[in-house]
Amino acid sequence: MLKADSNVRLVRDVSVKGVACAVPPRVSEVSDLCEKFGQESVNKIMMSTGVERRHVVTDECSSDLCFAAAERLISDMQVDRASIDTLIFVSQTHDYTLPATACVLQQRLGLPITTAAFDIAMGCSGYVYGLWMAASLLSGGGSKRALLLVGDTISKITSGDDRSVAALFGDAGSATLLDYELGAPAIPFVLGTDGRGSPNLIVPGGAFRDRSGYTSDVQDPDVRSAFDLYMNGAEIFAFTLARVPALVAVLHESIERGADGVDKYVFHQANKFMLDHLVKRMKLDRAKVVLDVKSVGNTSCASIPLALVIDQRDHSLPVSGQYMLAGFGVGYSWAGCIANFDGVHISPLVVMPDLKMGAVQ
């Protein structure tokens, strides 16, 4: 039974059916940065972030990763492509300025031309925002089956000379299938935005505010250009500790059994240091909290579904119970929900070159 709260947005009659993820084949070891940053510095980076290696793209785009994940999910679940009437693509690293990448993916996936397809430009909170958007369309009667594709290739916009990000970000794509299902348990969502934090995690140049990259607001010519990601780690950390515990508390209060009613917590996989602090601050049961950055790093908007897939692979336990999903970061933006994962299909992780052969990792 869900409790009423003005900060909670309830979405009814929607169920998550399946999740799949894909990563590129190239693996980048954090230890390879020792020559540039020094052994001691790199050891500290690995200790605090928990990241030892990441899958990073060469020529692949976010759409390629999401396409691979979608093909795996459609194949594994034997989904009739004609039954998908909505396609949502969430990313900060789109293929083109225009057209929308969702339009390209509709054609690549062979979905009917009656499919509604559109992009959402979101980062760390993007997966939960995408779930909310897809679920709202389904609940309101505007859709019957939605395919949510969420992925980023942040490695393309990070400077290898910037030690604050060079060892942190990996690339991944995901696919999630949602259905309209009358009587399905209501999903509580909590969403928030504070644009005052925008300058603290930003790529200042290259878009229409500054196409030429002349801005100098957050630019350090010796470390990064205006076309590279700038991250103020201290401010992002402070924001996270200020906002996420409140987000989790409201979600706990939205369900009858509170924290006892949550079977697993899957937060945005920012880094080990941040997640450890959150767990301690909120006094969560550590055994219920997923941490899977060691081999993939921070994969931005794809980190939550990727954590689900890796957790399933590593523990081989049936996916069931109430899952709290929460994303937070760039924007500033945050979003969380508690969804019933009983019977949700989780496909094995796809490593892209192996897709045609059916191999998985």
DSSP 160: T
Closest CA relative to residue 57, chosen from 302, 331, 288, 325 = 302
Does the pLDDT value for residue 359 go beyond 70?
no
Q: Under a CB-based contact definition with an 8 Å cutoff, are residues 323 and 341 in contact?
A: yes
CA 317 to CA 108: how far, in whole Å? 33
Does the pLDDT value for residue 217 go beyond 80?
no
- Looking at residue 1, its pLDDT comes to 47
- Looking at residue 285, its pLDDT comes to 94
- Report the number of secondary-structure helices (H) and strands (E) in the chain: 8, 16
Does the pLDDT value for residue 356 go beyond 60?
no
Give the confidence band of 68 by pLDDT, cuts at 50, 70, 90: very high
Does the pLDDT value for residue 357 go beyond 80?
no
Q: What is the pLDDT of residues 16-43, one digit of tens each?
A: 999 999 999 999 999 999 988 999 999 9
Tokens of 44: 């500290």
Give the confidence band of 120 by pLDDT, cuts at 50, 70, 90: very high
Give the confidence band of 242 by pLDDT, cuts at 50, 70, 90: very high
- Looking at residue 82, its pLDDT comes to 98
- Looking at residue 162, its pLDDT comes to 87
- In the chain, what are the domains? 13-182 (3.40.47.10), 188-346 (3.40.47.10)
Q: Which residue has the higher pLDDT, 203 or 135?
A: 135
CA 175 to CA 68: how far, in whole Å? 9
Give the confidence band of 166 by pLDDT, cuts at 50, 70, 90: confident
- Looking at residue 361, its pLDDT comes to 42
| Torsion angle (degrees, nearest 10) of CA 90, 91, 97, 99 | -30
Does the pLDDT value for residue 58 go beyond 70?
yes
- Looking at residue 360, its pLDDT comes to 39
The sign of the dihedral angle between the CA atoms of 226, 228, 229, 231 is: negative
Q: Which residue has the higher pLDDT, 315 or 48?
A: 48
- Looking at residue 318, its pLDDT comes to 72
Region 106-135: what's the mean pLDDT?
Answer: 98
List the single range of 172-181, 198-207, 218-227 with lowest mean pLDDT: 218-227
- Looking at residue 227, its pLDDT comes to 86
Average pLDDT of every residue of the chain: 92
List the single range of 105-109, 163-167, 324-328 with lowest mean pLDDT: 163-167
- Looking at residue 327, its pLDDT comes to 97
Does the pLDDT value for residue 4 go beyond 70?
no
User: Alpha carbon of 233 to those of 58, 98, 164, 229: distances in Å?
Assistant: 26, 32, 7, 12
One-letter amino acid identity for 91?
A: S
User: Alpha carbon of 262 to those of 192, 206, 287, 305: distances in Å?
Assistant: 21, 42, 12, 17
At 210, phi and psi to the nearest 5?
Answer: -155, 80
CA 284 to CA 117: how far, in whole Å? 38
3-state DSSP call for residue 23?
strand
Percent of the chain with pLDDT strictly greater than 70: 93
Residues 6+ apart with CB under 8 A from 4: none
Owner of token pair 């996916």: 319
Q: Under a CB-based contact definition with an 8 Å cutoff, are residues 14 and 178 in contact?
A: yes
> Per the omega criterion (within 30 degrees of 0), is the bond before 127 cis?
no
- Looking at residue 342, its pLDDT comes to 93
- Looking at residue 255, its pLDDT comes to 93
